[in-house]
Amino acid sequence: MTWWEMLKQPSFYLIYVMMTLVAFGGLVVTSQLKEIAGFYKVDKVIIAWGLSAAILAIQLNRIVNGITRPLWGWISDHIGRENAMFTAFLIEGLAVYGWLQTIHRPVMFVLLSSLVFFAWGEIFSLFPSITADLYGRTWATTNYGIVYTAKGTAAIFSAPVAAYVMLRTGSWVPVFYVMIACDITAAFMVLLWLKPVAARAIAKAEGIALSAALAQAAATKTKEAEDAEHLAKVG
């Protein structure tokens, strides 16, 4: 399916909204981590190896975010794409909630921000896969490139808008609760809408492939019969 055909599918906009919702939380942590640590006064607390909570969180987050991409791909291969997405989105939402509850504790600040990244990193392995599942592999790179612009949409809300909300309210709590709501909403969108849509799309694609294979087999059989008849006449 070409990119233009993909844009005509309602499922594309479902995937786009889901990726925007999930990317929002991870991008808030990416762009605002130092400011959040400073606001809760854990930014200069030394945790280990001479590293403060903020610096250690940043470094550990990057490591976890790299490891989680192939890991979530492996998980999705075993439990199914949509089940893996639901699990990851739910973990991210719960991790953000737990992070907010313990954010004044430097060690928990580091660990739970890393858990957020652990769940968030799946968008870079599962969204390309679901895009290929639904719209085929011929134009998979172009199609995912369009889906990936959802991250840019999320960035608009996660950096300037989130910072503006914090300045207006004097707290990061509203931003955290929006992050949680986005993750939980996306999780249930997977189960209630994406999973049935994906099942129908994959079944349709398999049906078309089977029909094409049967038609090819029939054509081959007819050709073989014609060749045999021709040889019999010649003989």
Dihedral, CA of residue 65, residue 67, residue 73 and residue 78, to nearest 10:
-130
112 and 92 Cβ atoms separated by less than 8 Å? no
210 vs 66 pLDDT, higher one: 66
183 pLDDT above the threshold of 90: yes
Q: Which helix (H) or strand (E) holds 118?
A: helix 106-120
**Average pLDDT for the chain:** 83
Of the two residues 200 and 9, the one the predictor is more confident about is 9
- 220 located within any domain: no
Confidence (pLDDT) at 229: 65
Banded pLDDT at 214 (limits 50, 70, 90):
low
Residues 24-39, mean pLDDT to the nearest whole number: 85
Q: Residues 211-217: what's their mean pLDDT?
A: 62
The pLDDT score that the predictor gives to residue 203 is 62
**Per-residue pLDDT tens digits for 123-154:** 888 888 888 888 888 888 899 899 999 988 88
Range of the structural domain that residue 106 is part of: 3-198
Considering the domain boundaries, does residue 229 fall inside one? no
Average pLDDT, integer, range 15-41: 88
Q: Is the dihedral of CA 87, 92, 64, 101 positive or negative?
A: negative
pLDDT range class, residue 19, cuts 50, 70, 90: very high
Is 207 within the bounds of a domain?
no
Q: Percent of the chain, pLDDT > 90?
A: 20
Q: Is 231 exposed, middle or buried (0-12, 13-18, 19+ CB in 10 A)?
A: exposed
Cβ contacts of residue 210 below 8 Å, gap of 6+? none
- DSSP SS3 for 50: coil
pLDDT value at position 185? 93
Tokens standing for 128? 């390309």
Mean pLDDT of 182-207: 79
For the record, the structure tokens of 188 come out as 């249930």
For residues 158 and 234, the model is more confident at 158
For residue 51, the surrounding DSSP H or E stretch is: strand 51-52
**Rg for the chain (alpha carbons), in Å?**
24
Note whether residue 135 is domain-resident. yes
| pLDDT on residue 1 | 75
Is the Cβ–Cβ distance between 157 and 53 less than 8 Å? no
CATH classification of the domain holding 57: 1.20.1250.20
| Closest C-alpha to 53, from 126, 98, 103, 121 | 103
Q: Is residue 167 part of a domain?
A: yes
Supply the pLDDT for residue 223: 65
Averaged pLDDT for residues 216-231: 64
* pLDDT for the residue numbered 208: 55
Q: What is the number of residues in the chain?
A: 235
pLDDT score of 62: 85
When divided into structural domains, the chain yields a total of 1
- Residue at 30 is within a domain: yes
Q: How far apart are CA 112 and CA 57, in angstroms?
A: 9
AA identity, residue 121 = G
152 found inside a domain: yes
Q: What is the pLDDT of residue 5?
A: 83
Q: Are 172 and 31 in contact (CB under 8 A)?
A: no
| Domain-located, residue 205 | no
- pLDDT tens-digit series, residues 39-95: 888 877 787 777 788 888 888 888 888 888 889 889 988 998 888 999 999 999 999
What integer pLDDT is reported at residue 47 of this predicted model? 79
